[in-house]
Amino acid sequence: MQKNLMTRRSLLTIAAASAASGLISPANAQGYEATRSMRGGANNYRPGAPIVERIGGGGFWMRGTVRRAGDGAPLAGQRIQVWAHTTEGHERDPNSHGATLTDANGVFRIEMPQIVPAFGQAHAHLAYDDDDFETVFLRPVMASSTDTSLAVNFVLQPV
């Protein structure tokens, strides 16, 4: 007679060990949901802002990742536009706008002047506005107006 070695306790132990080791990730198990546009994100948007190395004199870093909805795959070569009210200009000024491309790992990074409060909040505007995925406009608010960087992540829904 063969003895059943798989008990409920051993099954639960294996499942817990797998989850703790990262073999099962809730984000991957459920999929990545697409980022939704934020209210006010499109304020002062300028279609076709140029791809630049840096906006103005720099000093503040905007960074983040861009992934595909569903499987979470990093998206290389995606154009992210950034603009804000800074020490060098208002968010409606053309010289306060610029765009950058994601690298092979879906990471973007662009330097810009220090963001300062507008309408009582230090915030930035970011957009994905190309044709391969749904357009997304974001308006993240900084924890403090003295922060010198802000991380913003996009999960894009294919069109």
Q: Three-class SS of residue 98?
A: strand
The pLDDT value recorded for residue 30 is 57
Give me 15's structure tokens.
Answer: 């499942």
Closest by alpha carbon to 90, among 54, 58, 119? 119
Q: How far apart are CA 113 and CA 92, in angstroms?
A: 15
The domains found in the chain, sorted by start residue, are 60-156 (2.60.130.10)
Q: How many CB atoms lie within 10 A of CB 75?
A: 18
Is the distance from CB of 96 to CB of 88 less than 8 angstroms? Answer: yes
**Per-residue pLDDT tens over the stretch 44-95:** 999 999 999 999 999 999 999 999 999 999 999 999 999 999 999 999 999 9
CB atoms < 10 A from the CB of 79, how many? Answer: 18
Q: In the predicted model, is pLDDT for residue 13 greater than 50?
A: no
